[in-house]
Chain A
Amino acid sequence: MTTPPILHRRNAKRRRKMQNGAVLSWTTMSHPLDGFGIRPRTVGLIELEDGTRSLGQLLGEPRIGQKVRPRMALSTVNADGLREYDVAYEPLVTIAWSHIAQKAFPGYILALTGPSGVGKTTVSRIIVNMFGEYAEAVPILTTRCEKDGDDGEYAYVTKKEFTEAMKIGDIASYARIPSSTEERWYGYRHADIEDIWKKGKLPLVITEMHLLRGLSEHYGRRSILSFGLLPPGKSRRAMLSALLHRLRSRGRDAEEHIKERLQNAVSDLDFFRTNAGLFNKILVNEDVDAVIAMLKKHVPAFAEAKN
């Protein structure tokens, strides 16, 4: 009989059993103890990494000496229908990489992410100028209207065209940027990225948090060499002040749009804190030459360049 107090004491000791170990012995019982179901049940005696031993259900094909790891698994369903879980052990799988067909990896993407006004476009232009032999900017597909100051980084489409491209899966990553004046969609096309790879170059994307996440999900995080760009300033308020100053001084946006960009920037700054795993390196754009030097140091393709 396994009573609630026994279960409680067992559960209290469960943490100790959550270790990798090796199978000392095992058995498969054709008729497990009453309450443990009618299917054959395999139980192993495991020598844990700390030298203690533990009994637990064995998952997979058992073998003495086999390395196993713990995981919670359904152990039994009691008379009241309560599903009781306990520590079970499954084989530690060693993948024989040589037996897996090699998947050709076309290259990686260089991503620059930061709030509006941080200097992504400026840094991107310098990169293309300095390392054009190695990198090429990926056009940003957008539904917004063309503006003065745009410098060929955008591919303008209608909302209908953008939606159609989304539907047929032409777009690797897309996002709607909040705006009170127009519905602005941005995205990157597969074809644009792959064309750059085919040239043997590094696709360079100027992006924001939603687009970066989308690219990461589409191509895989390890396919993106990701740099975050932050405005200078020791505090969040100081960073936002620096952005406001830059947005006003470049004279491209109306004050109404600047306010929207600043509001979006607040979210962007939070994104850096909560999604640190999406970035390989965070750079503070206080001095653009210092940023370029850092990029040259961290991007393998640029490190080989003669510039």
Chain B
Amino acid sequence: MNSDIRLIGYGQTRFGELWDMGIRDLMEEAADAAISSAPITALDIDMIIVSNMLAEITNGQAHLSAIASSLLPHHPPALRVESACGSGAFALHTACAMLESGRARNVLVIGAEKMTDVSNDIVSSALMGAADAEQERPAGLTFPGIFGMIAQRYMHEYGLSRAALSLVSAVHHRNACGNSFAQFRTEVTPDDVSGSAPVADPLRLLDCSPISDGAAACVLSTDKESPVRIAASQIASDSLSIVDRPVLTSFSATKDAAERSLAEAEVKLKDIRIVETHDCFSIAALINLEDLGFADPGGGIRFYRNAYEGQTAAHRSPGEGGALGVNMSGGLKGCGHPVGATGIKQIIDVAKRLRETGERYGLAHNFGGACATCGVHVLEHSPS
């Protein structure tokens, strides 16, 4: 990073089906929480970045930057960033660029999505905007369908069983039980997952992150001190369509962004102790661990098996470093996935966890579509 960027405040709404809140309400609650937790006043915010994907379709509302600006008394300049489900990470990256360039010193980043105002059919169709409109959509594919295909291939190549895949959601649900902001604070067993309704073979309902409302916000600053700083912010891209990719069972954008993030933060993989990954579907959680370097190809399930059997956080293999907490917030599956808010919420969860555990490094991994865009942030915690 060219500047010392600190995470000086953060806050979020509860994620879930929030019938009584519009997108403006969600943004306002998250922004208030973030600013009130920071050692600044609202008037110190000199720029707002808004992360959102679907408001035009699900809320009939564009121009979210103007809404965000109107939330603060001095109407600071605001802009909106969209990169599908990876919008949050891209908004953070944009905020970092603004801070590094010196155009701003205190940036409020708000991620918000209000998805439950319309039917599931409309949401599914809108989410398909993150795929290739001239390849995936005409075939009738949905996003569960795309990840179903990825899961099918993964199982074929690595021999992953349906029962083993069910461990992923079981672990995430259990982790979410301790998170008061999570949409699902109930445990499910692997059998519950395997026995849930089929969605896109081999994926079942409980393999899929839900449709959610929610907002999250954070304040990044080059002006104020904080024990948590952004040590790295990297984004990467891949082919939009899975048709154009050489492999289905690995996401090159994750590898690219992760490699550059570790280099930028000047840390080794083994130093990362807290990870929030983009588990929009259970199969994605396994692929993410492998692409980030925490597991060999086909070996991601080992972490979840250890986590489930040990009734603790997922662990590295012996000799690979200390304990690794993966999606201790509950991930997208347990917390919910209001798409524009997820990337910001991950940063908040990593920061919280670093502070709680006293660990030094954490990593947030957020992607859009089938990882056609990916953002990886490394957070460093330096308690005073």
A binds B: yes
Question: Could you tell me which A residues sit within 8 Å of B by CB distance?
Answer: 1-2, 6-7, 9-10, 24-34, 36, 41, 43, 45, 53-57, 64, 75-76, 86
- Whether B125 pairs with A27 at a CB distance below 8 angstroms is no
B153, A24: Cβ atoms under 8 Å? yes
- Within 8 Å by CB of B243, from A27, A53, A57, A76, lies A53
Q: How far is the CA of A75 from the CA of B137 in the complex (A)?
A: 12
Task: Check if B92 is an interface residue, CB within 8 A of chain A.
Answer: no
Bound together, the chains give a CA A43 to CA B201 distance in angstroms of 10
Interface residues of B, Cβ cutoff 8 Å to A? 120-122, 124-125, 128, 133-142, 144-145, 148-153, 156, 197-203, 242-244, 248
Q: Which 8 A-B pairs have the closest CB atoms?
A: A27-B148, A36-B140, A25-B153, A55-B139, A34-B121, A28-B201, A25-B149, A29-B145
Contacts of B142 in A (CB 8 A): 29, 31-33
Report chain A residues within 8 Å CB of B134: 6, 9-10
Which residues from B are CB-within-8-Å of A28? 148, 198, 200-201
Chain B residue contacts of A41, Cβ below 8 A: 140
- Closest Cβ of chain A to B93, distance in Å, is 29
A84 smallest CB distance to B (angstroms) = 9
Contacts of B136 in A (CB 8 A): 55
**Given the complex of chains A and B, what is the CA–CA distance between A75 and B138 in angstroms?**
9
Chain A residues with Cβ below 8 Å from B153 are 24-25, 45, 64
A45 and B125: CB pair below 8 A? no
Closest to B133 in A: A6
- Majority-rule SS of A interface residues: strand
SS class, residues of chain B in contact with chain A? helix
Cβ-neighbour of A43 out of B133, B145, B198 (below 8 A): B145
Contact present for B243 and A30 (CB under 8 Å)? no
Separation of A54 and B141 alpha carbons in the complex (Å): 13
A34: contacting residue among B125, B197, B202, CB under 8 A: B125
- Within the assembled complex, what's the spacing in Å between the Cα atoms of A64 and B249? 14
Instruction: Report whether B201 and A27 are in contact in the complex, using a CB–CB cutoff of 8 Å.
Output: yes
Give the CA-CA distance A43 to B248 in the complex, in Å: 15
- Whether A29 contacts B248 by the Cβ 8 Å rule is no
Q: A6-B133, A28-B200, A43-B149 are known contacts; what are 9 more A-B pairs with Cβ within 8 Å?
A: A10-B138, A27-B152, A29-B141, A29-B142, A29-B201, A30-B197, A43-B145, A53-B244, A86-B138
Q: Are B200 and A27 in contact (CB under 8 A)?
A: yes
Are B242 and A43 in contact, CB atoms less than 8 angstroms apart?
Answer: no
**Which residues on A sit within 8 Å (CB–CB) of B201?**
26-29
A219 to chain B, nearest CB (A): 45
Nearest chain A CB to B62's CB is how many angstroms away? 17
Contact B140 A27 (CB under 8 A): no
Report B-chain residues with C-beta under 8 Å of the C-beta of A76.
Answer: 140
Bound CA span A41–B152, Å: 15
Judge whether A29 and B243 touch: CB under 8 Å: no
Selected from B120, B133, B144, the residue in CB contact (under 8 A) with A29 is B144
Which B residue's beta carbon lies closest to that of A24? B153
Q: Which residue of B lies closest to A76 (CB)?
A: B140
Q: A25-B248, A55-B139 are in contact. Are A31 and B152 (CB under 8 A)?
A: no
When distances are taken between beta carbons in the complex, the residues of chain B under 8 Å from A45 are: 149, 153, 242-243, 248
A56 to B122, CA, bound (A): 23
Task: Tell me the smallest distance from the CB of B130 to a CB of chain A, in Å.
Answer: 13
Rounded to whole angstroms, the CA-CA distance of A7 and B156 in the bound complex is 33
Inter-chain contacts of B128 with A (CB < 8 A): 33
Between-chain CB contacts (< 8 Å), 25 pairs: A1-B125, A6-B134, A6-B138, A25-B152, A25-B248, A26-B152, A27-B149, A27-B200, A27-B201, A28-B148, A28-B200, A29-B140, A29-B142, A29-B199, A30-B199, A31-B120, A32-B142, A33-B125, A33-B140, A34-B121, A45-B149, A53-B244, A55-B139, A57-B140, A75-B140
B206 to chain A, nearest CB (A): 14
Smallest CB–CB gap between B49 and chain A, Å? 28
How far apart sit A31 and B127, CA to CA, in the bound complex (Å)? 14
**Interchain nearest-CB distance for A227 vs B (Å):** 52
B156, A64: Cβ atoms closer than 8 Å: yes
Look across to chain A and name the residue whose beta carbon is closest to the beta carbon of B197.
A30
Shortest CB-to-CB span from A226 to chain B, Å, is: 47
